[in-house]
Each structure stands twice: as structure tokens, then as C-alpha cells.
Amino acid sequence: MKSQSESYMKAGVDITAGYKAVELMKTHIARTLTAGALSDIGGFGGLFELDMTGITKPVLVSGTDGVGTKLKIAFLMDKHDTVGIDCVAMCVNDIICCGAKPLFFLDYIACGKNYPEKIADIVSGIAEGCVQSGAALIGGETAEMPGFYPVDEYDLAGFSVGIVDKDKILDNSSINEGDVIIALPSSGVHSNGFSLVRKVFDIENNDIKAPMAELSGKSLGETLLTPTKIYVKPMLALFEKIDVKAVSHITGGGFYENIPRSLPKGYSAKIDKSKLQILPIFQLIQEVGNIPERDMFNTFNMGVGMSVVVSADDADVALETLKANGEDAYVIGTVVKSDEGVIIE
């Protein structure tokens, strides 16, 4: 590659660093390629060939998101190889709520200065998230933006596209009183609520690398950087076994905002608080920040990354299937006739 601009470099943009970053990330991208991925990295568009086997009415489902201010933790820890998993997870976990299988993912990284090794670290996490979800990483963009971002900081976003047969799109019209609500445990805070987390712990002015007894000897930074769990493969296995009535990805807004989105009008989720496996990090956030319990459940996932509604008759099979696919799922409540949305007691 002979492309080089001294004038552009004097303005703060090193296009040769971009080429080096692409070379460094190629091995990570290769891990994600599936049968449908046709494009090679560096082209102008990401190409994907659809396999319609077994699908009579194909519907494409898309999701887009970023990592948010969790990136501030990555900057302070100088650890950049996991936030890409978060970026993928926030997109594909939304897609799966419709019953769709993710097909491919594209990323967008904007930075103050292109450090090729750092960009490659970020992409390694994106690739790992794609492998976990079965999505091919078929393209992306790295934008060096001096004067817009600090030289050591970046932003990360992406989007994914999935496919589902129109007749198999999750439809909550079959929900009835007495249906069972199953929890899929989260790995931690995931990628929401970090503006509050950063305020509670004043992370810029405190040591977040020190081990903490409250977190089983892990540091606050390490605990907060735990990547978002990806639920795609266990959920696809569940769709094959039973008729799932509704799925909620518990993100920003917590229980009170996300669970009602999957329920029809006139029905609410009654959650048994005593059954919830609340992680120590949430207890620490609540204690240090003196945060009311309702605000905790209206901001964080509280240890539940995804909730699934099934009929009572299918509950045992659902639990067995999820556990056989690596999810320590458990029942947290039932559907009741009510207009409250979520009842936690």
C-alpha cells in the first residue's frame, strides 16, 4: 500500500496506522466467518449470502447499540479486549428477543488517535462476541478524529442483522395468567447504568484496581469490565424445543422498563424477590450510593440478563434445555392480570 499523506498526518490523522490496524485485526475477523460471509475485510461493503433453507417467509431483524460510558472503565484499566463483546451482546441479545438468529455484525470505532494495537484489541473482543453469537463480522469502520476525542479515548458502536421466519416471530398474544417467568443470569452490570456507577464510586478519583473483599477479591474495575453475557445460542436451542411466549433483554431501565415491553396490555410480571440471585456488585452499588431499591430495579439488571415467559406446562423442559446449554436458569415469577407492568415483592 503506497497511500500516504504528510499533510493529513500533520493534521493528526495517520492513514498508515489505519492500514496497520486492519492487518492486525484480520486474524480475529477470520474466526467469525460463516458460510454466508462473502466479503473480505477492506472492501466498501459487507456481503452476506442468505441461506433460506427451512424458511418460507424470511424477515430480517436488525439491532444497533454501543457500549456507553462503560468505556471509561476500560480507559482507566487500560484493558480493551472485552468491550467489543459488550458491543456485540447489546445488539444480538435484542435480536434474539424477536426469535431471530443473528447473521452478521458490523462495528464502528471512533478514536482520537489510531493506535493499531489498541484497535486490534478492541476488534478481538468484537470477534469473540461474534463467535459466541454465531454472527460473521463482515465489515466495520475505524475513524481517527483528532480534536474531537482525547488521544487515549474512543467510542464503539455496531449493528447486527438476523433472520426469522415470519410465522416464528415471537408473539405475546398467547400469554395467559399463570405463565412462568424464567431468569437467565447476568454476568454483572453488563453495559447499562454506568453513568450512575461512575458517580457512585467516583471512579476517576479512586483506585479501581485494588482487590475488594466485597467482590471476592476482585477489583472494582475488573468486576465492572466483566463483559455482557450473550444469550443467543441457548435461546436458539430453546426455540427448537418449546413455544416461547416472550423474551426480555434486561438493559437500561432494568426490570420496570424492559419486562413490560414483552407483555400484552392487561398483564404484568409478578416477581418473587426472594428468588432473585442478586450479584454482590449490585449490593455494593446500592450500599455505597445509598440508592433506593426501586431505583436499583429501574436502572440495573440486578443479576437477571434476560427473562423468558413460557407456559407452566413447558417450564421444566425450558429449564432443562437452558441448563443443558450452559445457562443456570431459574424461575423468578409468574404472569398475572394487572396493569402495573412489574410487581416485585
pLDDT of 45? 86
Helix axes 83-96, 116-133, angle to 10 degrees: 30
pLDDT tens column, 24-33: 888 998 899 8
Q: What is the pTM of this model?
A: 0.95
CA 139-145-150 angle, to 5 degrees, is 120
pLDDT of 36? 87
Q: Are 87 and 188 in contact (CB under 8 A)?
A: no
pLDDT of 42? 63
Is the C-alpha dihedral spanning 145, 146, 147, 149 positive or negative? positive
Half-sphere exposure of 36 (CA within 13 A, CB side): 20
Q: Work out the mean pLDDT of the chain and round it to a whole number.
A: 94
pLDDT confidence bin for 140, thresholds 50/70/90? very high
Rounded percentage of the chain residues whose pLDDT exceeds 70:
95
Which residues is 142 bridged to in the sheet? 109
pLDDT of 8? 62
165 by DSSP, 3-state: which? strand
Average pLDDT in the 52-71 region? 96
pLDDT of 278? 97
pLDDT of 44? 80
Q: Quote the CA–CA distance of 269 and 19 in Å, as a whole number.
A: 51
pLDDT confidence bin for 41, thresholds 50/70/90? low
> What does DSSP say about strands 304-310 and 180-185: parallel, antiparallel, or unpaired?
antiparallel
pLDDT of 231? 98
As given in the structure block, the three cell numbers for residue 3 are 497511500
Average pLDDT in the 239-252 region? 97
pLDDT tens column, 278-330: 999 999 999 999 999 999 999 999 999 999 999 999 999 999 999 999 999 99
pLDDT tens column, 159-187: 999 999 999 999 899 999 999 999 999 99
Average pLDDT in the 97-121 region? 96
State CA 177 to chain mean position distance: 30
Q: Quote the CA–CA distance of 105 and 118 in Å, as a whole number.
A: 20
Average pLDDT in the 233-246 region? 97
Non-local (6+) Cβ contacts of 205 within 8 A are none
Helix (H) or strand (E) holding 120: helix 116-133
pLDDT confidence bin for 16, thresholds 50/70/90? confident
